[in-house]
């Protein structure tokens, strides 16, 4: 079970030494070795503070532990939801924000932010139905829509039964569990619902926060996970890593073409392969990676992005060093946790973005 530890964001300023730049002849004659030692010692005291999406929280926290062991640099990340991450980085109370809702170039300009993707994950529809195993249940677009609209009250509803003739569905009341705070996971999930369900689009729409027609709210992916796990008859939506680590059952969903597909690493990669990334737009994709074409593409695949303040070049360099290290050393950790690392060509594009845009 994922334990969300409350991490207090530190606000200690980073002292940067420019050894030998402003001193007299003694400082200028110091050896390169001494300068490197001083810089290394100073870097080891560095603290980077981030906050935002709970979607990538498990992988960021594990990356941070490994990075501190390797470099001595501490990275604190608070999983407070994408809405909180966007707000805090806009207010400059953290060094970087995490969001599963991508910001348009116009919104980035308004907030004076840069943006790049860090990891790819997926959202899954999880359920707690005694006697119904993981991925055994098929939920059509219509069924998912009617469940989250509150129109389907019991699990043995005919709309669900017709796609699951061999599944013993109980006469169990449906309990919908959704996010209670501003959430990028909610943005992606409600955007997907708006595209597969005209009624949802007309009556609810999409956003980090929506007016849910039914259900109970829970904070973070971990909160939704816990409610679903403890409530027979519950249905909710969480990032795949939470499903994996908590051994929840997840439904098969329909691809853009209409066939049913299971949530697997191969299905997530299939969707990610269709992404059209472009650093000129700060990697913005209007619908993230949702509903990508392909009969094997998971329809709820999404990338999580990092937001950086435009004016904080020194601190941005430290944040970039961390993510550059994860791009080289963090793929195995990401895969074990149920994420999909960025393709190598995308990592190259991001490194060019750092060099040509962020740190220029």
pLDDT tens for 5-41 read 333 333 333 333 223 332 333 333 344 444 444 444 4
Distance between CA atoms of residues 156 and 232, nearest Å: 14
pLDDT score, position 44: 53
In a shared domain, residues 131 and 172:
yes
Residue-level length of the chain: 360
Name the band, by pLDDT with cuts 50, 70 and 90, for residue 58: very high
Closest CA to 67 of 51, 52, 47, 53: 47
State how far the alpha carbon of 166 is from the alpha carbons of 110, 132, 161, in Å: 53, 11, 9
- 159: in domain: yes
Structural domain of residue 316, as residue ranges? 25-121+276-285+304-358
Q: Which of 89, 119, 102 is nearest to 187 (CA)?
A: 102
Dihedral sign for Cα atoms in the order 23, 24, 25, 26: negative
CATH of the domain at 98: 3.40.190.10
Instruction: Indicate if 116 and 127 belong to the same structural domain.
Output: no
Q: What is the rounded distance in angstroms from the CA atom of residue 26 to the CA atom of residue 28? A: 5
Q: What is the mean pLDDT of residues 255-259?
A: 95
Decide if 315 is inside a domain. Answer: yes
What's the domain count of the chain?
2
In the prediction, which pLDDT does 31 show? 43
pLDDT, tens digit, 9 for 90 and up, residues 233-242: 999 999 999 9
Per-residue pLDDT averaged across 317-329, rounded? 98
Whether residues 316 and 245 share a domain: the answer is no
- Is 14 within a domain? no
Which pLDDT value is given to residue 239? 96
pLDDT at 22: 28
Strand-pair partners of 254: 260
Based on the domain organization, do 130 and 258 belong to the same domain?
Answer: yes
Summarize the confidence of residues 200-209 as an average pLDDT. Answer: 97
Does residue 290 lie in a domain region?
Answer: no
Residues 342 and 264 placed together within one structural domain of the fold = no
The last residue of a domain, from among 248, 272, 296: 272
Whether residues 234 and 137 share a domain: the answer is yes
Average pLDDT over residues 75-87: 96
Do 28 and 20 contact (CB within 8 A), yes or no?
A: yes
Both 140 and 264 in one domain: the answer is: yes
On whether both 128 and 240 belong to a single domain, the answer is: yes
Q: What is the pLDDT of residues 127-172, one digit of tens each?
A: 999 999 999 999 999 999 999 999 999 999 999 999 999 999 999 9
Nearest to 249 by CA among 131, 155, 121, 333: 131
* pTM, full prediction: 0.85
First vs last C-alpha separation in the chain: 42
Q: Is the pLDDT assigned to residue 201 strictly greater than 60?
A: yes
Is residue 133 located within the same domain as residue 240?
yes
**Radius of gyration over alpha carbons of the chain, in Å?**
22
pLDDT (0 to 100) of residue 152: 98
- In whole angstroms, give the CA distance from residue 97 to residue 118: 11
Domain match, 157 and 260 both: yes
pLDDT of residue 192 exceeding 70, the answer is yes
Q: Kindly state whether residue 227 falls inside one of the protein's structural domains.
A: yes
Assigned domain for 67 exists: yes
Q: Is residue 354 in some structural domain?
A: yes
Same domain, 254 and 135: yes
The answer to whether residue 65 sits within a structural domain is yes
Asked if 252 and 338 sit in the same domain, the reply is no
Question: Across all residues in the chain, what is the average pLDDT?
Answer: 90
Beta bridge partners of 120: 303, 340
Domain boundary among 225, 249, 272: 272
């Amino acid at each position: 079970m994922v334990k969300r530890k409350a991490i207090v964001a530190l606000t200690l300023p980073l002292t940067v030494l420019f050894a030998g730049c402003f001193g007299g002849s003694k400082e200028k004659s110091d050896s390169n070795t001494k300068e490197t030692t001083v810089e290394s010692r100073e870097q080891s005291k560095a603290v980077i503070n981030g906050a935002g999406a709970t979607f990538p929280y498990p992988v960021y926290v594990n990356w941070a532990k490994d990075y501190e062991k390797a470099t001595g640099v501490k990275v604190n990340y608070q999983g407070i939801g994408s809405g909180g991450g966007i707000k805090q980085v806009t207010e400059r109370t953290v060094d970087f924000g995490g969001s599963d809702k991508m910001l348009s170039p116009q919104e980035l300009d308004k907030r004076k932010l840069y943006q790049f993707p860090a990891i790819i994950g997926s959202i899954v529809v999880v359920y707690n139905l005694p006697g119904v195993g993981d991925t055994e249940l098929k939920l059509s677009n219509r069924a998912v829509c009617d469940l989250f609209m509150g129109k389907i009250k019991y699990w043995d509803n005919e709309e669900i039964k017709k796609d699951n003739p061999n599944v013993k569905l109980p006469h169990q009341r449906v309990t919908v569990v959704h996010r209670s705070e501003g959430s990028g996971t909610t943005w992606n999930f409600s955007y997907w619902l708006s595209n597969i369900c005209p009624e949802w689009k007309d009556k609810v729409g999409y956003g980090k926060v929506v007016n849910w027609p039914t259900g109970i709210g829970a904070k973070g992916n971990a909160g939704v996970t816990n409610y679903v796990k403890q409530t027979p008859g519950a249905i909710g939506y969480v990032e795949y890593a939470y499903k994996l680590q908590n051994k929840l059952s997840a439904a098969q969903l329909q691809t853009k073409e209409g066939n049913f597909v299971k949530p697997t690493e191969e299905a997530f990669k299939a969707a990610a392969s269709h992404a059209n990334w472009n650093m000129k737009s700060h990697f913005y994709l209007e619908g993230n990676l949702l509903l990508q074409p392909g009969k094997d593409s998971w329809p709820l695949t999404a990338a999580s992005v990092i937001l950086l303040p435009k004016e904080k070049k020194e601190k941005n360099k430290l944040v970039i060093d961390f993510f550059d290290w994860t791009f080289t050393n963090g793929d195995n950790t990401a895969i074990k946790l149920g994420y999909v690392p960025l393709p190598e060509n995308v990592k190259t594009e991001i490194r060019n973005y750092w060099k040509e845009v962020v740190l220029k």
